[in-house]
């Protein structure tokens, strides 16, 4: 019989009860004992759900108190010295200290889990000697068995992936580190084998990236060591998010099963199997149900795919599974009550994916008409959405096709625009500005709530927003900034705000997914053709401009950022979605220009995160991402100044693409990689206007004038003074009033000194 398997389940719970428990515990409202029991309840519920649905291989040890990479590090006692950890099981205070920082010690770095929006805590290996202080997979296995009679499948982050994602060691020490970790892994597996565990899932997503010869060798060392020490334990070597790079080597490893992603790594993995076959002594974990997307699968198509795979692996050796952990999708679509039935019927979140897995598994091994009928149901839903008006806005499709077939160029090259803009705006050397948002005080949030609950009329709310704009325009003038902003008080979120005003978007009530720690996000759903339906930002911007002689920058979120921070439809390429968004934004850009706004910023902080994992696909992505930005911004007059802003990430290896966006001015976050970024500008001689953030807005600390003068001078060593702008490194919406004003005053002070020196 074919079996079904899940690679991991969302932790947060249908009501985000996991998040609430964590936050209550942190704030001292929940005692530790009660906290453990609440989390256990949540964990068991998730196992029960999978059991009831009939999943054969149910993952255990995928649950976490924060993050599974941090759990792995903690299990090995890999805790940075600054947390004064003294060995043994890591206490919760230390565990959360590493994740969130303590009074005396900064948190460990957090970074994106491959190309997802999940962030893990980066293990710091420097100065620690790993030991196994607790066999967590074993504890989780026992719990599932004792409480629910589940024969769980422990999930463990594999040694190669763990090492590659860790920091605090030199590449030349990799083998030494492997020597230290390997015996601990072996011990875990031996104890699991002694306990009678049947299957273990060892996650090695690093195998979808390019591996060096040395890493391939390490892989062999690791899995040969496992085979030698636990010959009877079935190991599923699990990969996901893309196709594997070294298929030949990987399928030759002495493990019982290989798990491959046939959704996000479909073409590569399929090619490898077809060209090289699949070993007869192994089980294939066929990841056919998308663990990252929110859409129902075409089960007929999936069945065909499984049948195709069965030409290379006999059916008994196939496992039908999710493409990756379901951590990346919301918990259940069943409770969405506000979506159209067409849309709702087309969604499959984690719970619905369990049904898909079970049904598909049954269908592979039976010809039962009932099952085949059941299978066809999803096709009806998929078809209905496909035929919906929202997916067939032919005027949009034609317009976007026309626009994207042309070269999206400004009317003049930068040098000429720059001269025209200088003549028009007469800005001083080193113009000062901010990134867009000002503090969203409790008062601002309260006002929005009242308005959303209809306790405030539109007029009351609009007046309130205007008052905030009044206050901040005056303040910006008084502080002495050159280019002002309206402050974004009317926006909760830079994507949601635009999504709510554009056609083609939907918003779920409960579609939350974990982003990092207890932080969850609820991405909008782009399900139809995106269309501009009316001005989105003109009123506030125009109002702000009416209050001052200084230029006020209009403020928009760019097409790629809107797309990368949403769940998107899968019936058309992402490139097309980006162009639709760009075309809609172009209309807003033009509306702003028409309304007399002469500087317009289109933020693209999320360009970098959409970068494909496969190097060979990156150039193509960057090319259309750049094109989308240009489509949105290219039609303005030469005197209209287009700004953009980028943050969150390392940009030093994509400066060419940033330059190709052809924005008149870019402001860029530098707080985390200032040195490197400056260095790459040295090599590149960036030729457009640029503001390197001169202070880090992520901390409440008020930077001094001297400090910022230092930053400015350093940047001016490599950048052309005539093109240099001075600004903080990101939006100020999370900061307090006092610190914001004080910091900006110092920034203007530092600018004056710089102007005198140059």
Residue 733 binds which one of Zn ion, ligand GLN, none, with CB within 5 to 8 A depending on kind? ligand GLN
With CB under 6 A as the contact rule, the residue among 730, 747, 748, 754 that binds ligand GLN is: 730
Stretch binding ligand GLN (CB under 6 A), from 60-68, 243-251, 429-437, 466-474: 429-437
With CB under 6 A as the contact rule, the residue among 211, 303, 495, 555 that binds ligand GLN is: 555
As a whole number of angstroms, the distance between CA 666 and CA 643 comes to 6
| Strand-strand pairing, 513-516 and 519-521 | antiparallel
Residue 437 binds which one of ligand GLN, Zn ion, none, with CB within 5 to 8 A depending on kind? ligand GLN
The least distance separating ligand GLN from the CB of residue 669, rounded to whole angstroms, comes to: 8
Asked whether the beta carbons of 521 and 496 are under 8 A apart, the reply is: no
20 assigned to a ligand binding site: no
Give the SS3 label for residue 744. Answer: helix
Taking CB under 6 A as the rule, does residue 211 contact ligand GLN?
no
467 assigned to a ligand binding site: no
435 assigned to a ligand binding site: yes
* Residue closer to ligand GLN (CB basis): 218 or 645: 645
Residue 494 binds which one of ligand GLN, Zn ion, none, with CB within 5 to 8 A depending on kind? ligand GLN
Burial (CB < 10 A; 0-12, 13-18, 19+), residue 213, is exposed
Catalytic positions are 698
* Residue closer to ligand GLN (CB basis): 520 or 705: 520
As a whole number of angstroms, the distance between CA 302 and CA 289 comes to 8
* Residue closer to ligand GLN (CB basis): 436 or 689: 436
603 assigned to a ligand binding site: yes
- List the interface residues with ligand GLN, window 630-649 (CB under 6 A): 645, 647
Q: Look up residue 639 and give its two tokens.
A: 């005197």
* Residue closer to ligand GLN (CB basis): 119 or 362: 119
Cα 85 → chain centroid: 31
* Residue closer to ligand GLN (CB basis): 154 or 731: 731
* Residue closer to ligand GLN (CB basis): 98 or 666: 666
Residue 482 binds which one of Zn ion, ligand GLN, none, with CB within 5 to 8 A depending on kind? none
The least distance separating ligand GLN from the CB of residue 489, rounded to whole angstroms, comes to: 11
- List the interface residues with ligand GLN, window 476-495 (CB under 6 A): 488, 494
The least distance separating ligand GLN from the CB of residue 588, rounded to whole angstroms, comes to: 14
The residue whose two tokens read 């969850």 is 520
Residue 598 binds which one of Zn ion, ligand GLN, none, with CB within 5 to 8 A depending on kind? none
* Residue closer to Zn ion (CB basis): 626 or 647: 647
Stretch binding Zn ion (CB under 5 A), from 265-273, 274-282, 451-459, 730-738: 730-738
Number of helices and strands (H, E) in the chain?
27, 21
As a whole number of angstroms, the distance between CA 215 and CA 159 comes to 11
| Strand-strand pairing, 110-112 and 119-121 | antiparallel
How far are the Cα atoms of 56, 410, 413, 665, 721 from residue 416, in angstroms, in the given order?
66, 11, 6, 14, 18
Residue 514 binds which one of Zn ion, ligand GLN, none, with CB within 5 to 8 A depending on kind? none
16 assigned to a ligand binding site: yes
As a whole number of angstroms, the distance between CA 506 and CA 338 comes to 9
How far are the Cα atoms of 37, 74, 91, 349, 514 from residue 30, in angstroms, in the given order?
11, 23, 16, 30, 21
The least distance separating Zn ion from the CB of residue 698, rounded to whole angstroms, comes to: 10
First to last CA, the chain: 77
Residue 19 parent element (H or E):
helix 17-26
324 assigned to a ligand binding site: no
As a whole number of angstroms, the distance between CA 56 and CA 151 comes to 9
- List the interface residues with ligand GLN, window 591-630 (CB under 6 A): 603, 605
- List the interface residues with Zn ion, window 618-657 (CB under 5 A): 647
Taking CB under 5 A as the rule, does residue 730 contact Zn ion?
yes
As a whole number of angstroms, the distance between CA 191 and CA 110 comes to 31
The residue whose two tokens read 């230092």 is 710
Count of residues interacting with ligand GLN (CB under 6 A): 13
56 assigned to a ligand binding site: no
Q: How is 171-234 classified by DSSP, letter by letter?
A: GGGHHHHHHHHHHHHHHHHHHHHHHT--EEEEE-GGGGS---HHHHHHHHHHHHHHHHH-TTSE
With CB under 6 A as the contact rule, the residue among 150, 206, 357, 435 that binds ligand GLN is: 435
437 assigned to a ligand binding site: yes
647 assigned to a ligand binding site: yes
CB-CB neighbours of 425 under 10 Å: 17
Q: Look up residue 68 and give its two tokens.
A: 């599974």
Stretch binding ligand GLN (CB under 6 A), from 3-11, 169-177, 260-268, 435-443: 435-443
- Burial annotation 100-136 (CB, 10 A radius, 16+ → b, else e): eeeeeeebbebebbbbbbbbbbbbbbeebebebbbbb
Q: Residue 435: what are its φ and ψ, rounded to 5°?
A: -90, -15
Taking CB under 6 A as the rule, does residue 748 contact ligand GLN?
no
With CB under 6 A as the contact rule, the residue among 436, 517, 559, 610 that binds ligand GLN is: 436
Stretch binding Zn ion (CB under 5 A), from 162-170, 478-486, 586-594, 727-735: 727-735
The least distance separating Zn ion from the CB of residue 501, rounded to whole angstroms, comes to: 21
Q: Residue 265: what are its φ and ψ, rounded to 5°?
A: -120, 25
Cα 198 → chain centroid: 34
The least distance separating Zn ion from the CB of residue 667, rounded to whole angstroms, comes to: 8
112 assigned to a ligand binding site: yes
| Residue number closest to ligand GLN, CB atom | 731
**What radius of gyration, in Å, describes the C-alpha atoms of the chain?**
27
The least distance separating ligand GLN from the CB of residue 516, rounded to whole angstroms, comes to: 15
645 assigned to a ligand binding site: yes
SS (H, E, C) 578-608: HHHHHHHHHHHHHHHHHCCCCEEEEECCCCH
609 assigned to a ligand binding site: yes
733 assigned to a ligand binding site: no
The least distance separating Zn ion from the CB of residue 644, rounded to whole angstroms, comes to: 11
As a whole number of angstroms, the distance between CA 336 and CA 96 comes to 33
The least distance separating ligand GLN from the CB of residue 414, rounded to whole angstroms, comes to: 23
Asked whether the beta carbons of 262 and 287 are under 8 A apart, the reply is: yes
Count of residues interacting with Zn ion (CB under 5 A): 3
677-716 footprint of Zn ion as x/- string (CB under 5 A): ----------------------------------------
What residue ranges bind ligand GLN (CB under 6 A)? 435-437, 488, 494, 555, 603, 605, 645, 647, 730-731, 733
Q: Which residues are annotated as a binding site for L-homocysteine?
A: 435-437, 488, 603
Binding residues: 16-19, 112, 117, 435-437, 488, 519-520, 565, 603, 609, 645, 647, 669, 730
- Point out the annotated binding site for 5-methyltetrahydropteroyltri-L-glutamate: 16-19, 112, 117, 519-520, 565, 609
Which residues of this protein are in contact with Zn ion, per CB under 5 A?
A: 605, 647, 730
- Annotated binding-site residues for Zn(2+) read 645, 647, 669, 730
């Amino acid at each position: 019989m074919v079996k079904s398997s899940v690679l991991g389940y969302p932790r947060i719970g249908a009501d985000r009860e996991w998040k609430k428990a964590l936050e209550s515990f942190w704030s001292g409202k929940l005692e530790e004992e009660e906290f453990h029991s609440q989390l256990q309840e949540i964990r068991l519920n998730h196992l029960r759900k999978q059991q009831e649905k009939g999943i054969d291989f149910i993952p255990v040890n995928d649950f976490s108190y924060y993050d599974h990479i941090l759990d792995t590090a903690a299990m090995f006692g890999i805790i940075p010295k600054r947390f004064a950890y003294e060995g043994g099981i890591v206490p919760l205070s230390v565990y959360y200290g590493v994740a969130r920082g303590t009074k005396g010690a900064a948190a460990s770095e957090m970074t994106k889990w491959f190309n997802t929006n999940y962030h893990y805590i980066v293990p710091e290996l420097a100065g620690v000697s790993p030991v196994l202080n607790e066999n967590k997979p074993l504890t989780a296995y026992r719990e599932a068995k004792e409480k629910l009679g589940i024969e769980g499948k422990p999930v463990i982050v594999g040694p190669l992936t763990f090492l590659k994602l860790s920091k605090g060691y030199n590449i030349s020490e990799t083998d030494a580190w492997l020597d230290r970790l390997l015996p601990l892994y072996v011990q875990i597996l031996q104890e699991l084998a002694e306990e009678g565990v049947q299957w273990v899932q060892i996650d090695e997503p690093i195998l979808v990236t390019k591996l060096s010869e040395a890493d391939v060798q390490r892989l062999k060392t690791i899995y040969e060591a496992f085979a030698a020490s636990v010959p009877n334990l079935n190991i599923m070597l699990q990969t996901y998010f893309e196709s594997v790079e070294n298929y030949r080597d990987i399928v030759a490893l002495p493990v019982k099963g290989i798990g491959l992603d046939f959704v996000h790594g479909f073409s590569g993995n399929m090619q490898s199997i077809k060209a090289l076959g699949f070993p007869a002594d192994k089980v294939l974990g066929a990841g056919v149900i998308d663990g990252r997307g929110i859409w129902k699968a075409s089960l007929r198509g999936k069945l065909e795919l499984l049948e195709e795979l069965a030409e290379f692996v006999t059916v008994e050796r196939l496992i039908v599974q999710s493409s990756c952990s379901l951590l990346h999708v919301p918990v259940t679509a069943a409770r969405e009550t506000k979506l159209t039935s067409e849309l709702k019927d087309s969604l499959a979140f984690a719970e619905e994916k369990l049904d898909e897995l079970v049904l598909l598994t049954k269908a592979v091994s039976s010809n039962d008409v009932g099952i085949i009928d059941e299978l066809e149901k999803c096709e009806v839903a998929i078809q209905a959405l496909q035929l919906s008006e929202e997916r067939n806005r032919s005027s949009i499709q034609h317009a976007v096709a026309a626009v994207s077939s042309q070269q999206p160029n400004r009317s003049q090259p930068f040098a000429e625009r720059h001269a025209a803009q200088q003549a028009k705006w007469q800005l001083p050397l080193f113009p000062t500005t901010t990134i867009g948002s000002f503090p969203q005080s409790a008062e601002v949030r309260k006002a929005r709530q009242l308005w959303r609950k209809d306790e405030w009329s539109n007029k009351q709310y609009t007046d309130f927003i205007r008052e905030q704009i009044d206050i901040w325009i005056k303040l910006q003038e008084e502080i002495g900034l050159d280019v002002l902003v309206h402050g974004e008080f009317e926006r909760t979120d830079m994507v949601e705000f635009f999504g709510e005003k554009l056609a083609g978007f939907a918003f779920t009530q409960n579609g939350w997914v974990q982003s990092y720690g207890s932080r969850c996000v609820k991405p909008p759903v782009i399900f139809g053709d995106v269309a501009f339906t009316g001005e989105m930002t003109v009123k506030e911007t125009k109002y702000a401009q009416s209050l001052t002689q200084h230029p006020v920058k209009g403020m928009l979120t760019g097409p790629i950022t809107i797309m990368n921070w949403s769940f998107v439809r899968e019936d058309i390429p992402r490139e097309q979605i980006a162009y639709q968004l760009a075309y809609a934004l172009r209309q807003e850009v033009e509306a702003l220009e028409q309304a007399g706004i002469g500087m317009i910023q289109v933020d693209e902080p999320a360009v970098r995160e959409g970068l494909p994992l496969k190097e060979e696909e990156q150039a193509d992505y960057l090319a259309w991402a750049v094109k989308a930005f240009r489509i949105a911004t290219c039609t303005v007059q030469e005197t209209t100044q287009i700004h953009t802003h980028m943050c969150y990430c390392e940009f030093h290896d994509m400066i060419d693409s940033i330059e190709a966006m052809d924005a008149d001015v870019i402001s860029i976050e530098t707080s985390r990689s200032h040195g490197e970024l400056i260095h790459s500008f040295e090599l590149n001689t960036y030729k457009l206007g640029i503001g390197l953030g001169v202070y880090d807005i992520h901390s409440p600390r008020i930077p001094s004038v001297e400090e910022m003068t230092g930053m400015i001078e350093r940047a001016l060593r490599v950048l052309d003074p005539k093109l240099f702008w001075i600004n903080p490194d990101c939006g100020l919406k999370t900061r307090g009033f006092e610190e914001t004003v004080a910091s900006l005053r110092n920034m203007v002070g530092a600018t004056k000194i710089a102007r005198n020196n140059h």
